[in-house]
A and B are shown apart, each in its own frame.
Chain A
Amino acid sequence: MHRAWRIAGFVLGGGLLAFLAVPVVALFVTGSPADWLAGLRHPITGPALLLSMVTTALSLGVLVAFGTPLAWWLGRSEARAARLVETLVQLPIVVPPAVAGLALLLAFGRRGLLGPLLQGAGVDIAFSTAAVVLAQVFVAAPFYIQAATAAFAGLDENLLVVARTLGARPATVMFRVALPLARRGLVAGAALAWARALGEFGATLMFAGNLQGRTQTLPLAVYTALESDVRAAQALAVILVVIALAIIVFLRPRRGRHRR
């Protein structure tokens, strides 16, 4: 009986593992390196790769610059408002990306909530590269904010108080104590957020469209290439999977060195 349970568990768990693995394996084994090389030379590949690198770097920069102060407040404040905001910030994780794209369009589109305001300022966001960045920031924000909030919340208040008593101004405490100690959490959050931004598809398609060289990022290029050249789609997909694997390996739990 005991043995039967073990076998059943093995079959069920192993079955799921196989199901998860087979598609990834298929991406690699159904094409040859020669195919991937041809795919990489496909005219759709270069611009998409470049655009993805540029836009994800920008959205990550925006997210770190704006998200770090927010996460500091969320992590250090005991106000009830902070707990409420902490919950609301998670929303983009559970909202379908297509809904996020529609919401962005209704907010920043030409006929959106802020459309007249933006047009008055001569800014047209929808279906531009800026829209790609905004879509990425929107969907990736929770990943960075959540990790950074946890990292800041984990800081011992005594460390911050003692640093002040030793003559350090708040900014010095931030850069010499808080950020170095929270670094691991911040970097992990940034890596996850970047990966999410890189994979962004639905919101980008709705809000930024699918224009080569302007809004056609790697995931959109995979989708587009599939209609004409499976090899190109596959080559792009392989790039994305390799990057994803690299991120997972980078984020794997490590034994701490001399930290706390």
Chain B
Amino acid sequence: MTALTASVALRAGALDLEVALEVDERGLVLVGPNGAGKTTVLLSLVGARRPAHGRVAIAGDVVFDSAGGIDRPTEERGLAYLPQNYALFPHLTAAQNVAFGLRGTRAERIDKARALLGRLGVAAVADRHPGALSGGEQQRVALARALAPAPRALLLDEPLAALDVESRQSVRAFLVAELRAQHRPFIVILHDRDDVRAFAAPIAVVERGRVVQRGELAALEAAPATSFTARLLGAARPAGD
């Protein structure tokens, strides 16, 4: 079953974007050079950019359809968005950040937020502000916040880019395991071959606003359609492999 289907076309500055994506419960990895339009795709899915034409449906529920005049506001789409810089609210504590998207009384929301932070292994930072957290901690808090309102799908923009080399591997393992455990469709933008391998999800390559290739990792490795894909995946093999 297809969990999320989207076709979006829009122009923004030098970017001429026209992509169609299908995401199942295994998720989707988006790769592509800088400026290819990957982030804009995610922003148009959540409704922060308005496609000139297109259609976005989540589990069959149409949240945007230019032909049908449907354009549901961001807050009603049920999509979680994790930007590259995590965008934690700097004036709120970690627990308050997570509680932001929860319903209920203040005490209930904070309790739930603490429980969620505990499940993601960062209970200790609940009362700290984002500025006092490490990159890995920030990512977990942001993930907890994104999961809190039980979104229908997760959109993650380079979730590992802001991390240093030491924490990157453990955070990646954690994120992959967590996404698998969630059974929620996701789209994740990546730019590192090791990250792409770790996610082991279908891949779409976006270049200059178009999907130039899509498929499983093995198929892309065997026959990369563009030099970008070849460089991204090919270089992963040790010399002489």
Q: How far is the CB of A151 from chain B (nearest CB, A)?
A: 13
How many angstroms from the CA of A156 to the CA of B145 in the assembled complex? Answer: 17
Q: Are the CB atoms of A258 and B129 closer together than 8 Å?
A: yes
Chain B residues whose C-beta falls within 8 Å of the C-beta of A162 in the assembled complex:
81-83, 87, 145
Q: Are the CB atoms of B75 and A164 closer together than 8 Å?
A: yes
Q: Are the CB atoms of A167 and B91 closer together than 8 Å?
A: no
Chain A residues whose C-beta falls within 8 Å of the C-beta of B90 in the assembled complex:
181, 258-260
> Which residue of chain B lies nearest to A163 when distances are taken between CB atoms in the complex?
B100
- Is there a chain A Cβ closer than 8 Å to B38's Cβ? no
- Is there a chain B Cβ closer than 8 Å to A158's Cβ? yes
Contact partner of B80 among A165, A181, A258, CB < 8 A?
A165
Q: Are the CB atoms of B100 and A158 closer together than 8 Å?
A: no
- Is there a chain B Cβ closer than 8 Å to A168's Cβ? yes
A205-260 residues with Cβ-Cβ distance < 8 A to B are 258-260
Contact partner of B145 among A166, A169, A177, CB < 8 A?
A166
How many angstroms from the CA of A180 to the CA of B100 in the assembled complex? Answer: 14
Q: Are the CB atoms of A164 and B148 closer together than 8 Å?
A: no
Query: How many A-B contacts if CB must be within 8 Å?
Result: 68
- Is there a chain B Cβ closer than 8 Å to A38's Cβ? no
> Which residue of chain A lies nearest to B80 when distances are taken between CB atoms in the complex?
A165
Q: Are the CB atoms of B75 and A169 closer together than 8 Å?
A: yes
Q: Are the CB atoms of B85 and A158 closer together than 8 Å?
A: yes
How many angstroms from the CA of A166 to the CA of B57 in the assembled complex? Answer: 19
Q: Given contacts A158-B87, A159-B87, is CB(A166)–CB(B101) below 8 Å?
A: yes
Contact partner of A181 among B77, B82, B91, B146, CB < 8 A?
B91
B59-114 residues with Cβ-Cβ distance < 8 A to A are 73-75, 77, 79-83, 85, 87, 89-91, 100-101
How many angstroms from the CA of A94 to the CA of B183 in the assembled complex? Answer: 61
Contact partner of A164 among B73, B83, B85, B89, CB < 8 A?
B73
Looking at chain A's contact residues, is the secondary structure mostly helix, strand, loop, or mixed?
Answer: helix
Q: Given contacts A161-B46, A181-B90, is CB(A168)–CB(B75) below 8 Å?
A: yes
Looking at chain B's contact residues, is the secondary structure mostly helix, strand, loop, or mixed?
Answer: loop
- Is there a chain A Cβ closer than 8 Å to B43's Cβ? yes
A175-205 residues with Cβ-Cβ distance < 8 A to B are 176-177, 180-181
- Is there a chain A Cβ closer than 8 Å to B48's Cβ? yes
Chain B residues whose C-beta falls within 8 Å of the C-beta of A168 in the assembled complex:
75, 100-101
Q: How far is the CB of A163 from chain B (nearest CB, A)?
A: 7
Chain A residues whose C-beta falls within 8 Å of the C-beta of B48 in the assembled complex:
157, 161, 164
How many angstroms from the CA of A35 to the CA of B73 in the assembled complex? Answer: 65
> Which residue of chain B lies nearest to A183 when distances are taken between CB atoms in the complex?
B91
- Is there a chain A Cβ closer than 8 Å to B173's Cβ? no
> Which residue of chain A lies nearest to B128 when distances are taken between CB atoms in the complex?
A258
Chain A residues whose C-beta falls within 8 Å of the C-beta of B148 in the assembled complex:
166
How many angstroms from the CA of A221 to the CA of B102 in the assembled complex? Answer: 56
Q: How far is the CB of B63 from chain A (nearest CB, A)?
A: 12
Q: How far is the CB of B151 from chain A (nearest CB, A)?
A: 8
Interface centre among A156, A162, A176, A177 (most CB of B within 10 A): A162
Q: Given contacts A159-B89, A177-B89, is CB(A165)–CB(B131) below 8 Å?
A: no
Q: Are the CB atoms of B132 and A258 closer together than 8 Å?
A: yes
How many angstroms from the CA of A162 to the CA of B142 in the assembled complex? Answer: 10
Q: Given contacts A165-B46, A166-B145, is CB(A259)–CB(B91) below 8 Å?
A: yes
15 contacts between A and B (CB under 8 A): A158-B83, A158-B85, A159-B87, A162-B82, A162-B87, A164-B47, A164-B73, A165-B46, A166-B100, A166-B149, A167-B75, A168-B100, A176-B100, A180-B91, A258-B90
Residues on A close to B: CB < 8 A? Answer: 156-159, 161-169, 176-177, 180-181, 258-260
Residues on B close to A: CB < 8 A? Answer: 43, 46-48, 73-75, 77, 79-83, 85, 87, 89-91, 100-101, 129, 131-132, 145-146, 148-149, 151
Which A-B residue pairs are the 6 nearest by beta carbons?
A166-B101, A158-B87, A164-B74, A158-B83, A161-B48, A258-B129
